[in-house]
Amino acid sequence: MGLFDFFKKKEAAPEDQEALDKGLEKTKDGFFNKITKAVAGKSSVDDEVLDNLEEVLVTSDVGVSTTLKIIKRIEERVARDKYLSTSELNFILRDEIQLLLSENNSNDFRQFEYGDHKPYVIMVVGVNGVGKTTTIGKLAHKLKEANLKVVLGAADTFRAAAVDQIKLWGERVGVRVVAQAMGSDPASVAFDTLQSAVANNEDVVIIDTAGRLHNKIGLMNELGKIKQVMQKVVPNAPHEILLVLDASTGQNAFEQCKQFTEATDVNALAITKLDGTAKGGVVIGISDQFKIPVKYIGVGEKINDLQLFDKKEFVNSLFK
């Protein structure tokens, strides 16, 4: 299986679907409990039900602007159909969320390909603690399973723990890791990683970066320098700038997305730790507000629990 074949989304395997359903349990339980309370004692969708539903969506971390879009769509359906029962609300809500997501991102894994780049370079960004290094390890595992040659670059040189963690993942999944001494120049690590990937004819390079957000100018300069240095080896690198966000941080994930998209050209998102939180609504809101494809979701701690994101499967699982 080649790089392109791997990223053409297949139908979800039963075990993947099961992991997705299980990973969304907390979000689903919280969401439906709130909806049940919102429509209690009502037979039709009226203004009060819509107000209550708006509150449900906002408190489920869908975000205010995305919530208002969804409510407006439901209002239009109520006006068009004249009468909608509260029992129909779940079906309508599911349809409108799916429609909204499908309109927002033209890219989806059923069509997505990496193109002709070799090595294909992924630069991974995100604040410390969001599961960045774990996501890199799990992604490397997926790619290696697809018989691709992968190399990891430990360019978060400000934390010894980050370098050690990525080395452990390299050993665990059986991929090469390029690292330098603690405190080395991150751009130098990235340069070395790409040079060795070209020399070894490797397919994918994944570069870890430091997750400090306290100084956006510093972050912007650092990421810009890493990109410039990589392009000396591989023109147009990185091909993907993957921002990792922790779903359990709720509205903080929106703020992190805003900061990183202003600092660099993020073109892919990974949303982690969905299994540990009831805040899975952030996937819907972030996808809508930032118009950046959510490409991966983390639905558990096992090595195979990083999944390719499929909007339809996600929303169907949420409404099961």
Does 129 carry a binding-site annotation? yes
Query: Does 209 show up as a binding residue in the annotation?
Result: yes
> Is residue 275 marked as binding?
yes
> Is residue 281 a known part of a binding site?
no
Q: Is 282 annotated as a binding residue?
A: no
Phi then psi dihedrals of residue 298, to 5 deg: -100, 120
Q: Is 127 annotated as a binding residue?
A: yes
3-state secondary structure of 257: helix
The reply to whether 211 sits in an annotated binding site is yes
Tokens 């975000």 belong to which residue? 63
Residue 132 labeled ligand binder? yes
121 membership: H or E segment, kind and range: strand 120-125
How many other CB atoms sit within 10 Å of the CB of residue 81?
11
Q: Would the annotation count 126 as a binding residue?
A: yes
- Could you tell me if 271 and 247 are in contact, meaning their C-beta atoms sit under 8 angstroms apart? yes
User: Annotated binding residue at 274?
Assistant: yes
Instruction: Give the list of residues 6+ apart from residue 40 with CB closer than 8 angstroms, or none.
Output: none
Whether 212 has a binding-site annotation, put simply, is yes
For residues 285 and 254, the answer to whether their CB atoms sit within 8 Å is yes
Answer yes or no: are the C-beta atoms of 64 and 58 closer than 8 Å. yes
Question: Known binder of ligand: residue 210?
Answer: yes
**108: which 2 tokens?**
């989806």
Contact 90, 319 (CB under 8 A): yes
Task: Please check if 192 is assigned to a binding site.
Answer: no
Q: What whole-number distance in Å separates Cα of residue 84 and Cα of residue 86? A: 7
Residue list for the binding site for GTP: 126-133, 208-212, 272-275
Residue list for the binding site: 126-133, 208-212, 272-275
